[in-house]
Amino acid sequence: AAKFDVLKKSGLPIWYFIGPNTPNSIVQKLDIGFSFSNSRQTDEVQPKLNTGFELFELSAPLQQAFNYFPAVKVPYGETKLNAQNKVLLSQRLGGFTKKDPILFVGEKGNLKYGVFFGEGIWRWKINESSRTNASDGFQELVQKLSQFLVLKQNSSALRITMPTRFQKGT
């Protein structure tokens, strides 16, 4: 738990990877407003893009690629997510979309974080590479999420921008 405290106090953004074997008790120590049923059973679910996600935009080709990405393994059961968290990718079983997340982001205090909930994200890159001979979509996903996490928000109410002036030396 001390390692988690050091990370959280650093204020650095964190991208958590929580798999089916991660105990919920460990996730609770992260204090990110997320919990799930501890179950020995798993589900194989595919990603479904949340069209209401507005924190950053994804290209049309990447949005389409989610339809082809292979399933990831998640713990069976219901998840609970606080309102501080925004879901980018939900779980899809065939034609049925669950409210449970695969990928979400959140912010608590000065800490921004992303969470991939499942095992097998590496299959997405392999799938895309074999389908398109490139992995641009997967790279875009990692890049956009990383950029979002490291971007510092300017929370000051007053913003002044002035043109830069250069004077020619004499």
Tens digits of pLDDT across the chain (170 residues):
567 777 777 778 999 999 988 888 888 888 888 988 877 888 899 999 999 999 999 999 999 999 999 999 998 888 889 988 999 999 998 888 898 999 999 988 878 999 999 999 999 999 999 988 888 899 999 999 999 999 876 555 566 666 666 666 65
The terminus-to-terminus CA distance of the chain in angstroms comes to 62
Question: pTM score, two decimals?
Answer: 0.83
Q: Which of 39, 99, 106 is nearest to 74 (CA)?
A: 39
Residue 159, pLDDT score = 60
The number of beta carbons lying within 10 Å of the beta carbon of residue 150 is 10
Burial class (CB in 10 A: 0-12, 13-18, 19+), 22: middle
Q: What are phi and psi of 88, to 5 degrees?
A: -95, -45
SS3 62: helix
